[in-house]
Structure 1
Amino acid sequence: MSTEPRTVQVNVFVTKSLEIDEPDWCAGHDDRAQYKTDITHNGPEVSASVEIRRGLSDFLTAWISQAPYSELAPEPLPLLAIEVGGDIINLDPNGVHEFTATVRAHCDVLDRLAGELQRVRESEGR
């Protein structure tokens, strides 16, 4: 048996603070970034709300977002992040205009359905 001390290499996760530039619109950071590529700037969230039985329910939550160091980000410029059905889509200005046109068209459909519902209720004497 050897009397020499044994050594082994162990990978460790070392953290340290990193000073980065923060845009004026960023609402702050939550210290969850493990790597520089995880850093994301997020602006304040805005949501539409609707009253339901349990109170208010938010939908179409949106915020300006930028992941300046990510290799996976669609582009280095800020985008609008919109939460839709539990998924987050990131859109440039043209994409936002296309999205809002689709939402407006759907609201027109909902208005037509409300008219149809009113006719159904009236025909049933309600």
Structure 2
Amino acid sequence: MPDHDNSSRTVTVPTCDHGPVTVWEPDWCTGSETEHQPGGYRVDITHASPDYEFAVSTSRGTPVVLRACFEQRPFTERPPGHVPFVNVEMDGDWHPHGSDDLRHLSNTLMAHADRLLELADRLDGLTTAFDATKGGTPAAANPEIGRGC
């Protein structure tokens, strides 16, 4: 991502509370009207990059698990302040992250990946046990089969 000093672009956004507001526009900003919200309030002016999508391949397609984008709100009065951050969409909501927050999220996702590997190993054991009985053991007689998570 280019630094603040690498962009000479500016954008003028008409606002309902401060009239036309000219702001520096980062190189990574898409510059679309939805980010700059012409006619809105100055505090709502937002710079946003295109989304980075994190998808996984499944037997039923490739769903997007996470979305993230660079964002900056030059006139906000709320955290994370005026500095650029990464907004991460999870479970239908967007969550602002600083660099330390992103590292924590990454570590958490790696721990979840480790847990999925443990579940895969357990599934191997369940499948092997099932194959050994040739599927002849009813679920009621085998507490491992049909048990909730």
What TM bracket, shorter-length normalisation? 0.7 to 0.9
- The aligned amino acid for 1:112 is E
- The one of 31, 37, 42 aligned to 1:28: 31
Question: How far 1:56 sits from its partner (Å)?
Answer: 2.7
Q: How many residues align?
A: 114
Q: Work out whether residues 67 and 73 of structure 1, in 8 Å CA contact, stay in contact via their aligned partners in 2.
A: no
Find the counterpart in structure 1 of residue 88 from structure 2: 82
**CA positional deviation for 1:51:** 3.6
Please, what is the CA RMSD of the aligned residues? Answer: 2.3
* Pair 1:72-2:78 in alignment: yes
Matched-pair contact (CA < 8 Å) for 1:22–1:41:
yes
Q: Which runs of 5+ in 1 are unaligned?
A: 1-12
Q: Which runs of 5+ in 2 are unaligned?
A: 1-14, 136-149
Determine the structure 2 residue equivalent to 1:113: 119
Supply the AA of the counterpart residue of 2:30. Answer: A
For residues 105 and 14 of structure 1, do their structure 2 counterparts lie closer, same or farther at Cα, with a shift above 3 Å needed? closer
Alpha-carbon distance change, 24 to 107 in structure 1, aligned in 2, over 3 angstroms: same
Identity %: 29
State the distance in 1 between where 2:126 and 2:83 align. Answer: 50
* Deviation of 1:72 (Å): 2.1
Q: Any conservation in 2 of the 1:41–1:67 contact (CA below 8 Å)? A: yes
Task: Name the amino acid aligned to 1:120.
Answer: L
Provide the C-alpha distance between the structure 2 equivalents of 1:35 and 1:22, rounded to a whole number of angstroms.
Answer: 17
The structure where helix makes up a greater share of residues is: 2
Paired residue secondary structure (2:53):
strand
Match of residue 48 from structure 2 = 42
- Runs of 4+ in structure 1 over 6 Å off: none
Name the CA shift for 1:73/1:40 in 2 (closer, same or farther; >3 Å): farther
Q: Structure 1's 118 and 53: CA in aligned 2 closer, same or farther, altered over 3 A?
A: closer
Q: C-alpha deviations, 1:36-84, integer Å up to 9, x for none?
A: 1111111121111124566431121111111111112422100111111
8 Å CA contact retained: 1:80, 1:92 = yes
Counterpart Cα distance in 2 of 1:109 and 1:50: 16
RCO (CA 8 Å, sep 6+): is it higher in 1 or 2?
A: 1
Q: Which amino acid aligns with 1:62?
A: A
TM-score scaled by length of structure 1: 0.78
